[in-house]
Amino acid sequence: MEKNKILIVEDNIDLIESYEIVFKKEWYNVEIAYDWKEAGRKLKSFKPYVVLLDIMMPNTNGFSFLEKVRKTGNNVIIILNSNLSQDSDIERWLSLWANKYLRKSDFNPFELVDEVEKVIK
């Protein structure tokens, strides 16, 4: 599996554009999913090494998606990228399904790349 393959699951167009530019500049092979259905398809076809996952998106609970991915036995690295701030919920999600939680407001896109690289190395 190629460590430079990242699937970004995000519904904010501005963030998608900036994330895509910065990750590609750092030689990542980037795929974008704007919703959970698309993310599920791209997990199977693109086979990313890491998924950068926004939790709060319209029409679906991101945690259900996350749980579903893990229950299929998929061990892809999943980094939650959200502005949720309930520490107890974050701890639960990390212990059950995710590899890392990053608060969107704490990182610009360049810093986000650095944080992702810390997790995958």
Overall number of domains in the chain: 1
Distance from C-alpha of 91 to C-alpha of 72, rounded to nearest angstrom? 22
Residue-wise pLDDT for 9-50, tens only, equals 999 999 999 999 999 999 999 999 998 889 999 999 999 999
Percent of the chain's residues with pLDDT above 90: 60
Per DSSP, 86 falls in state -
Query: Which residues neighbour 82 within 8 Å (Cβ) at sequence distance 6 or greater?
Result: 54, 55, 56, 62, 101, 102, 103, 104
pLDDT of residue 115: 96
Average model confidence (pLDDT) for the chain?
89
Give the CATH number of the domain where residue 45 resides.
3.40.50.2300
pLDDT of residue 90: 75
Which string of DSSP letters, residue by residue, matches 25-36? HTT-EEEEESSH
pLDDT of residue 1: 67
- Structural domain harbouring 75: 5-120
